[in-house]
Structure 1
Amino acid sequence: MNSAMDKNMMSQDVGIDATDQDDWDMQRLGKTQQFKRNFRFYSILGFTTTLMATWESILLTSTYGLTDGGRAGMVYVYIGSFVGFFSAVISMAEIASIQLPNIGWTVPLADTLNSNPTILSANPVLGWLSVLGWQAAFASICYLCGTLIQGLLVFNYSEPSGWVYGFERWHGTLLTIAIAAVGTLVNTWGYKILPPLEGLILALHLFGFVVVVVLMWAMSPGKASGDSVWKEFTNSGEWPSMGLACLVGQLTPIFSWTGPDAATHMSEEVQNAALVVPWCMVSTALINGGLGFIMLITLLYKMGDIQDVLAPASGFSFLPAVNHATGSVAATNAVAAIILVMEVCSAIGILATVSRQTFAFARDDALPFSKQLAHVNRRTQIPICSVLVSTIITVLLSLINIGSTAAFNAVASVMIAALFTTYILPIAAVIRVRFQPGGIPPSRFSLGIFGLPVNVFSLAWLCFAIIFTFFPTANNPTLVDMNWSILVFGAVVIFAIALYIVHGRRVYRAPVTQVRKVE
């Protein structure tokens, strides 16, 4: 398989074989090529790797894991969750190889024994959840960048002897809008530089990782004992058992791994997509999984006493942790600046992804104003309307934060549950079709005989993990601390079903109806 991959990678440089294969795949799925195929393996790898930003997210969201599970809990939950998550990634990679280069989650499973396709297509509810998940992801990452800036201001200007920064929710909203504006500018006016920019961002992602790890190990006056890192559990959320606390704390690694399927939503802009995109998904998971684990161990050994980093005034546990490790406010600010830059880059990639997913769903007449949302600008060959609408939605959502941060977090936190559902349904569909005559069609990325057990295991883990995305961070929460994402998630599902019954079933064109045999 590796030799085949190398051969096809070389064909991209020539630009002949890959283009022919992509054209054939587009014809097979009944789609018209509307985008330029500017992404190759390295640039799309940079796109997905920096979009996930795992080592950065481990630091940013460490409060969840440290609160529920502590040092040892974070280690073992990370390892266990990665096994389950990676099985889901390679399952989705195989599905992607079958369905590509269609950029919406559809599962075309052709009966290879005859010419008649036997297909379990993605339904409108799945499409709505995918659009919701990615839209929530964009709003969430913009808000995270904005609150990180606020956290840095609190960290640097909280002494009564000097100027003291007053944390205001509307400040966070304005900063969220500013980050969204940056992502919009790059995705519209800067569309030509996006593919090469992603390669540069990947280099920065790796370089920044090295800088942060070296600073924390080289400047630290000491480290925690091995027993405290590998054996010391914490249940600050006061859950009935330590095991339950650790499971609730898995939100830290889960949040850090969300988004490896972003490459599939960009697949109509990737050369040799049916091979490159699956391998990109797998490579992204391995690279970020490894970097995330090293950063996690570094944090746990160098952060100092766990009680000193929990509930920080800045809202981010990694700031006092890095400050303890380096003994320098300047070094802490430098680390935070690196993370902020990388998260802004992640926001750029997420906006590109959500706009393409919105375009794909609109192309099947499944959204209001589908004609406008599915329009691709002839000059730029990007769905500008979808980009702008995605930005406007984030701006409107950010206004919720002015009235209630808890309400905004409820919308933003639904991201994981929505995206996990878009993984669960296709994998369940593949398992079902494996038992039907003809099974799944051959693909350029295949799990072979391991396909069924990997699919079953990944499905079980996803169904198990999604339950804990709806948990609050502490037992017996107040109305403010409650995780209301399940309410938002349920409302979207009900809305999607109702919209389909009332309107969608008359106009929605399922991708299944467009798949045809191509000689």
Structure 2
Amino acid sequence: MNQVIISDLNRTPIVQILTWFTLVTSLLAFFTHAGIKFYVFRSLTIESWLVLAALVFCVAQSIAVSLQAHYGFGTPIATLDGYQIESNLKCEYAAMILFIVSLGFSKLAVVAFVHQLTPSELHRRINFGVLAVITLWLVCSVLVAAFECRLPRPWDRTLDRCIDRLTWWNIVSCFNIVTEIAIVALELVITAQLQIRRQRKAAVMTLFSCRLLVLVAAAIQLGFFNRESTDAALKDDLTLGYWRSTICNQIVQCIAIVTTCLPYTKLFMEGFESGLMRLDDLRRRGEHTSKDDSKGVTVRILYEDQQVHLGWNVVHKPLFIYAAAVVLVPTAIRFLLYSFALISLSLSSSIRITGPLIVFLLGFPCRVGDTMASSTTKSGDVELIVTPTQSTNKTDDLALARLGKKAVLKRRFGFLSILGFSCTVLITWEGSLVLFLVGFQNGGPAGVIYGYLTVWVGTVSVFMVLSELVSMAPTSGGQYHWVSMLAPPSSARLLSYISGWLTLCGWLASLGSGAFLTGGLIQGLLMLCQPDTYVPQNWHVTLLYWAIIAFCVFINIAAGWLLPKFEGALLVLHILGFFAILIPLLVLGPQGNAKEIFTTFVNMGGWQSQGLSFCVGIMGSVFAFVGGDGPIHLSEEIHNAQVVVPRSIMTGIAINGSLGFAMILTVLLRMGNLDEVLGENPAFPFMAIFHRAVQSRSGAAVMASIVMVLTISANVGFSASTSRICWAFARDRGLPGWRTLSKVSDRTSIPVYAVAFTSFIACLLALVNIGSTIAFNGVISVAIAGLFSSYLLTSSLLLYRRCTGAILTPSEAFDTDTTFSSTTRDGMSRTVWGPWRLPGAIGIANNVFACAYLSFVFFFSFWPSFAAVTPANMNWAVLVTSAIAGISAIYYAVWARKTYNGPVIEIDERDLSGRVSVIEQRHELGST
């Protein structure tokens, strides 16, 4: 197998990795910027087109550098033939010109933004002066770079017919730095004149000062270039000597584009926690849709029919921009700039501002206790009418009240934050790495690929069904609530109770297994870094397990208000970390045979047939998708949960499935000799694959640390979901001690007792691991069986109800003046579809397939990995799951039937005001 090795005489892989990584970062930054601009204004403004031009030249420049590396850049020039040297010089010539043009267009984009940022004529004149200097710098630099050497070979620096490159580049870089200073200074001067509090002013200045990162990177590049050009050992080697300055050029170009996109990307960040007022809500009502808005409008803020300032007594929560088309986009921006935090801004007086600045200003985190309406007036002017209301979440509260529940949890999550939660709880590409060996032992490389695709399709089908259910009844109870809603009255209470226990125990097992695997990962990382000195012990994992649970408790209780932003940051790391691992593996890993990967099956479990082995091995991929219902149990903390939760679940599965499949293919194609990999690290072979690919323990440790951090963070989501299902079940009196477990903190609106209780139970499970790993594995093995049995029960009941036509559409419910109540026992006609559903035969077919897939997974989740069963390799899930179901049934018959009557009705639907208006809103949502 061919493998590229990094050495002092081969820096080509480093150039390739960083070139493609910075290019991906730039692409994500631009898509964020363009997605927000187009979604809000329905068109791109001048700075967007300039950023697009910068990106186009950035892509071309990155391709040129990649080709340059392909032809030997990063290796000694003495080892290259004439064709490689000439091709290398041509690529370098093209890359330099494209770099200058890309950098110039990014500067022009910032200048265009500053022009729209200020109404001051003085500021605009200064800005025109900066524009003139930048334009002159760009034209002159490109012309000199184009004719650096004499024709007809302007690229050939080996001939003694070229300009003094060192002097020329020093001049170019100095003007580059000066123009960056001028741009930042102008932005800071404009900000300094705003009449706002010092803290907010400092925050705004911090945002604009991010552009100084370009200056810093450019200064570092200039330093490397001067060193390389004056060092006798480096300056004559045109391919190996200049690799550091070339990498710095890529970083400068990337940061320039990222910081140019930053002001509008800020709005995307603020979507991680959204309020009731959303620009897409205004557009949906046909208000604020004029294309003239993208060119310039006047904003007047009215309060109780009088013009007022946009003050903090009026606005209390940030605006939310739903931008599903650019789901992958926040990655680069949040990773580079999240530490700068979100910025607050208020206006001291009503001022005239241009269209793009409306979103920039109004998007600052505010706390809104009011709803806003908008109307378009003459000449494209927009008036935002602020009308006080008693609840910012009235619509969501009414939807919850129709289920008989009071709203007691604070709605902190918007689409992006719950999408981050969905992605980071699933952690499919990370889980596929950790559980790689499970599928490989029973299935081989081909079995892993086809098994993953099978599970991905089945998971999509299952969660389409669950999305339909959560759209009908967005409650934290989830499965047990839906079972009570859908089951026949004679068995609804018992089935609901059993479903509640299976769901809760499944999530407790998921929390325990997640903490256990993460503790094992930390142990594996220690073994990777200290292979000769560290001796792993079971009690080490237990202590690490407890530390992880303690971290989860801290985030969920002490820093509960930070959870949406925490999940948003994890979404960034989840996607960026994927590329940080994928690119080095592709560039440095040993090249495998694609045909063998797709055609080789393995049966290490000793099963009678390869097909049976494949079915057993598929459980590894199933476990990588466990936790997809996590957002469902946070439904009562999500804005517009009936729509947002289904969207986040399906989008999360699409993202995770795609990333996971790409990672599996990459690992299989770059893993090298499996026996050697297993010999180095039999517990976590992916760490050995990293080590063998990058040929460095430090590099492998960094890559493994990304996986470790994400798995630690995933446990925060496990803890949140587990505590919410515990709280919801206790609220409906399904658990012993329900009076305490159902309490919610008045200060934080967090079910503190439920978080503490579930964490305590998870910590008790860890004690089992000290005495017997076999017994502990038996306990946590219920994660798949418990959750999938609850999915199967609800899916089967939904299939029965939809086949009998017992679920009404919103329009049918409106015509019959019927409201929705999950606790109705007087017939099945009271159940109403939510806004998210698969209609007609398509829905039935998907439901049938989901039930078949769940039955398949549920059956094989009890099978051991090896045909020769011993107590050590036995799968005890069948015993534990049966015990849970049996104990819950017995406890119900003996005691719980006296207290548990299904979901408790806290609000009678007959007492609700605006009952018909709620149905009308459902009707409207159902038609969109």
TM-score scaled by length of structure 2: 0.53
- Structure 2 residue aligned with 1:84: 458
- Could you tell me how far apart the structure 1 residues matched to 2:466 and 2:478 are? 13
Asked if the contact 1:53/1:342 (under 8 Å) is kept, the reply is: yes
- Could you tell me how far apart the structure 2 residues matched to 1:427 and 1:384 are? 31
* C-alpha deviation, 1:170, in angstroms: 0.7
Matched, 1:471 2:471: no
Select the residue among 514, 517, 537 that pairs with 1:141. Answer: 514
Select the residue among 539, 557, 569 that pairs with 1:170. Answer: 539
- Structure 1 residue aligned with 2:695: 327
- Could you tell me how far apart the structure 2 residues matched to 1:131 and 1:436 are? 30
User: Per the alignment, in what secondary structure is the counterpart of residue 807 of structure 2?
Assistant: coil
- Structure 1 residue aligned with 2:851: 459
* C-alpha deviation, 1:439, in angstroms: 2.7
Q: Write out aligned runs for 1:430-469 (5 A).
A: 430-440=798-808, 441-449=832-840, 450-469=842-861
- Structure 2 residue aligned with 1:114: none
- Could you tell me how far apart the structure 2 residues matched to 1:435 and 1:236 are? 43
- Structure 2 residue aligned with 1:95: 469
Asked if the contact 1:107/1:120 (under 8 Å) is kept, the reply is: no
- Could you tell me how far apart the structure 1 residues matched to 2:613 and 2:409 are? 46
- Could you tell me how far apart the structure 1 residues matched to 2:650 and 2:425 are? 14
Q: Write out aligned runs for 1:158-197 (5 A).
A: 158-159=531-532, 164-197=533-566
- Could you tell me how far apart the structure 1 residues matched to 2:748 and 2:445 are? 49
- Structure 1 residue aligned with 2:437: 63
Asked if the contact 2:744/2:750 (under 8 Å) is kept, the reply is: yes
* C-alpha deviation, 1:6, in angstroms: 9.3
Asked if the contact 1:109/1:118 (under 8 Å) is kept, the reply is: no
- Could you tell me how far apart the structure 2 residues matched to 1:141 and 1:10 are? 42
- Could you tell me how far apart the structure 1 residues matched to 2:805 and 2:651 are? 32
Q: Deviations over 1:181-229 (max 9, x none)?
A: 1111111111111111111110010100010001111122x31101211
Asked if the contact 1:97/1:444 (under 8 Å) is kept, the reply is: yes
Unaligned runs of 5+ in 1: 112-116
- Structure 1 residue aligned with 2:888: 496
Asked if the contact 2:588/2:694 (under 8 Å) is kept, the reply is: yes
The 1:423/1:16 distance shift into structure 2, 3 A limit, reads farther
* C-alpha deviation, 1:326, in angstroms: 2.0
The amino acid of 1:27's aligned partner reads A
- Could you tell me how far apart the structure 1 residues matched to 2:787 and 2:371 are? 35
- Could you tell me how far apart the structure 1 residues matched to 2:679 and 2:605 are? 12
- Could you tell me how far apart the structure 2 residues matched to 1:342 and 1:134 are? 18
The 1:295/1:437 distance shift into structure 2, 3 A limit, reads closer
- Could you tell me how far apart the structure 2 residues matched to 1:10 and 1:205 are? 32
Asked if the contact 1:170/1:402 (under 8 Å) is kept, the reply is: yes
The amino acid of 1:183's aligned partner reads C
- Structure 1 residue aligned with 2:784: 416
Q: Deviations over 1:434-468 (max 9, x none)?
A: 13353352211011121111000000011011111
* C-alpha deviation, 1:126, in angstroms: 0.2
Asked if the contact 1:98/1:107 (under 8 Å) is kept, the reply is: no
* C-alpha deviation, 1:477, in angstroms: 2.1
User: Per the alignment, in what secondary structure is the counterpart of residue 863 of structure 2?
Assistant: coil
- Structure 1 residue aligned with 2:98: none
Matched, 1:20 2:404: no
Asked if the contact 2:502/2:786 (under 8 Å) is kept, the reply is: yes
Select the residue among 716, 723, 729 that pairs with 1:361. Answer: 729
Asked if the contact 1:147/1:172 (under 8 Å) is kept, the reply is: yes
- Could you tell me how far apart the structure 2 residues matched to 1:362 and 1:206 are? 36
- Could you tell me how far apart the structure 2 residues matched to 1:311 and 1:240 are? 27
Asked if the contact 2:786/2:881 (under 8 Å) is kept, the reply is: yes
- Structure 1 residue aligned with 2:750: 382
Q: Deviations over 1:464-483 (max 9, x none)?
A: 11111111111112111111
- Could you tell me how far apart the structure 2 residues matched to 1:264 and 1:119 are? 24
The amino acid of 1:107's aligned partner reads W
User: Per the alignment, in what secondary structure is the counterpart of residue 367 of structure 1?
Assistant: coil
Q: More relative contact order in 1 or in 2 (CA 8 Å, sep 6+)?
A: 1
The amino acid of 1:167's aligned partner reads P
* C-alpha deviation, 1:360, in angstroms: 0.3
The amino acid of 1:123's aligned partner reads S
The amino acid of 2:423's aligned partner reads T
Select the residue among 611, 616, 627 that pairs with 1:248. Answer: 616
- Structure 1 residue aligned with 2:642: 274
Matched, 1:425 2:799: no
Asked if the contact 2:403/2:905 (under 8 Å) is kept, the reply is: no
Q: Percent identity?
A: 34
Select the residue among 404, 427, 439 that pairs with 1:30. Answer: 404
The 1:502/1:416 distance shift into structure 2, 3 A limit, reads same
* C-alpha deviation, 1:311, in angstroms: 6.4
- Could you tell me how far apart the structure 2 residues matched to 1:287 and 1:56 are? 13
Q: Deviations over 1:12-58 (max 9, x none)?
A: 74874982321221110111111110100000100111011111000
Unaligned runs of 5+ in 2: 1-38, 40-277, 285-318, 321-367, 373-391, 809-831, 916-928
- Could you tell me how far apart the structure 1 residues matched to 2:490 and 2:396 are? 22
Larger mean Cα displacement after TM superposition, 324-333 or 431-440:
431-440
- Structure 2 residue aligned with 1:406: 774
Asked if the contact 1:124/1:496 (under 8 Å) is kept, the reply is: yes
User: Per the alignment, in what secondary structure is the counterpart of residue 107 of structure 1?
Assistant: helix
- Could you tell me how far apart the structure 2 residues matched to 1:247 and 1:317 are? 22
The 1:298/1:505 distance shift into structure 2, 3 A limit, reads same
Asked if the contact 1:67/1:310 (under 8 Å) is kept, the reply is: no
* C-alpha deviation, 1:516, in angstroms: 4.0
The 1:277/1:475 distance shift into structure 2, 3 A limit, reads same
- Could you tell me how far apart the structure 1 residues matched to 2:688 and 2:739 are? 50
Q: Deviations over 1:44-103 (max 9, x none)?
A: 100111011111000001010111111111001111121111100111100110111343
